[in-house]
Structure 1
Amino acid sequence: MTTLLTHQNRVAVVTGSGRGIGAAIAVALAQRGAKVVAVDLQSPSATVAAIGRNAVGVAADVSDPNGWATVARVAEESFGDVGIVINNAAFYPNHPIEELDLDTWRKTMSVNLDAQFLSAKQFVPAMRRNKWGRFVGISSNSIGLTVKGMSHYIASKMGIVGFMRGLANDVANDGITCNAVLPGLTHTVATEAQGEEQRRATWQAQAIQRFAEPEEIVGPILFLTSDDAAFMTGQALVVDGGQYRVG
């Protein structure tokens, strides 16, 4: 099979790329020709090794402006201007409202939502100069489901949809698009601890009755970050096997 080089000469930042969905995104972008800046709290060496010379790893806290300054510096020194930003890093503890404290609320917002803003502040200027850019915020289909103990997480993930829609209005005339992708539960380290009964309860609410594999979330992201999606912005694509139904 011949892989289309739809992302050749693009530089992409992928956060939370040490494993799971983030690693799958990073590898897929590289296969399409992109140079990848793989970001995680600890440098994602396994992801970089899987890609090879077209990737560089960065250890950074995406809730901290200094972390984004480091990402930008490494990207520029390694590959040049960043044109694609995939904010995938997430913080998702389960706490019912009685147990949810302000520190957990704030950390959830800073990792999941502040990072979207901080990345835009860091990379929009170069994208404007180059008249091309792509932001994709990884939200969650949980914003439309009845999930207990996740009010903070759902608020942050709903905020990603709102921020992408608002940012799209600000940057559209410069060839920059901003969209959100809402995955369902995916087969990752985070979901392996779930029991069979809990898994089946999730599957039975879906048209496709199984968890997604990380690689199955990648397709819409490849599309949204390509030239093919130049007229698509401010949108939220749900990729969850048919669980989240409109109406």
Structure 2
Amino acid sequence: MVKDLGLAGKRVIVTGAAGGLGRAFAQDFCDAGAQVLVADINADGAAKTAADLSKHGTCFGAAVDVSNTESCRALADTAKQTMGGVDILINNAALYAGLERRNFEDIDEDVWDKVMAVNIKGVWQMCRAVSPLLRAAGGGSIVNVASATVFSGSPQWMHYVASKGAVIAMSRVMAKEMGGDQIRVNVLAPGFTLTDASFDHIADARGYGVDRSSLKRNAEVGDITGAALYLASDLAGFVTGQTLIVDGGKQFI
């Protein structure tokens, strides 16, 4: 059970929330008493997740293509209509699963462009669409989800790693530009995390790479969602422009 973090009644958008970590973010915010708008390019998936999570609290579903300006603006309008505004934005939508690992010389240009359109432009678009609602609320919190691979330089994944590095850079700029409006912008950079998809692709997911972890285990979903709840909450009220790496200390081995 999520402890009281002062999130009860907060209005939250989570993108890429039809499944995986996005769904887990949405569920934990619901458990914390927040209203949550589950957004995903998979409209049916978003609706199903919202229906499932309504058992935990107040939850709505909506479709969004974060690479499309009008779609992001429409999602912001939906948030205003259903929740009355926005206090917290979790930018989780990204292209990752399904990307082929290739040396950087061999990445197809159209794949590169698609990754950048979703993983970089999508973050910018969502922040731009939601920022008026955050200002109207008197401030709020944006958590942009990046990746610990930015710091390890994961080979054969240059398009993904580069896009997540850009998310960190953009977040530092937005933190300075929006700080005067009491809008905090931080980055959550998870390492390898044990999700259902992990076990689908890696036979020994639980033991994968644990020798490089200071804690000698891989992250559970709750390790990542707990960090997001902290960054979004008033407990991190004087934290902005920061990147929280949640990888069990792999970067220091």
What TM-score bracket applies, with the shorter chain setting the length?
over 0.9
Contact 1:181 1:236 in 2 (8 A): yes
Q: Secondary structure at the match of 1:137?
A: strand
TM-score (norm 1): 0.92
Contact 1:27 1:47 in 2 (8 A): no
Q: What is the match of residue 16 of structure 2?
A: 16
Structure having the larger proportion of residues in helix: 2
Q: Secondary structure at the match of 1:231?
A: coil
- Alpha-carbon distance, 1:34 to partner: 1.1
- Alpha-carbon distance, 1:199 to partner: 6.3
Mapped pair 1:179 → 2:186 = yes
Mapped pair 1:116 → 2:116 = no
- Alpha-carbon distance, 1:221 to partner: 1.0
| Higher mean C-alpha displacement, 205-214 vs 154-163 | 205-214
Q: Secondary structure at the match of 2:130?
A: helix
Aligned with 2:59 (options 51, 55, 62): 55
Runs of 4+ residues deviating >3 angstroms: 193-201
CA distance in 2, matches of 1:5, 1:199: 30
Contact 2:120 2:167 in 1 (8 A): yes
CA distance in 2, matches of 1:161, 1:100: 23
Q: What is the match of residue 28 of structure 1?
A: 28
Q: What is the match of residue 42 of structure 1?
A: 42
Q: What is the match of residue 71 of structure 1?
A: 75
| Higher mean C-alpha displacement, 156-165 vs 118-127 | 118-127
- Alpha-carbon distance, 1:46 to partner: 3.8
Contact 2:16 2:92 in 1 (8 A): yes
- Residues 208-244 of structure 1 deviation map (CA, whole Å, 9 limit, x = unaligned): 3333222220111111111121210000001111112
| Higher mean C-alpha displacement, 122-131 vs 134-143 | 122-131
Q: What is the match of residue 166 of structure 2?
A: 159
Mapped pair 1:229 → 2:236 = yes
Q: What is the match of residue 222 of structure 2?
A: 215
- Alpha-carbon distance, 1:178 to partner: 0.2
Percent identical: 32
Aligned with 2:177 (options 158, 162, 170): 170
- Alpha-carbon distance, 1:73 to partner: 2.0
| Higher mean C-alpha displacement, 91-100 vs 169-178 | 91-100
TM-score (norm 2): 0.90
Give the gaps of 5 or more residues in structure 2. none
Contact 2:142 2:185 in 1 (8 A): yes
CA distance in 1, matches of 2:136, 2:166: 27
Residue type of the alignment partner of 1:48: A
CA distance in 2, matches of 1:74, 1:207: 43
| Higher mean C-alpha displacement, 191-200 vs 174-183 | 191-200
Residue type of the alignment partner of 2:141: R
Give the gaps of 5 or more residues in structure 1. none
- Alpha-carbon distance, 1:24 to partner: 1.0
- Aligned-pair Cα RMSD in Å: 1.9
Aligned length: 246
Q: What is the match of residue 157 of structure 2?
A: 150
Aligned with 1:100 (options 80, 100, 107): 107
- Alpha-carbon distance, 1:192 to partner: 2.2
- Alpha-carbon distance, 1:3 to partner: 3.9
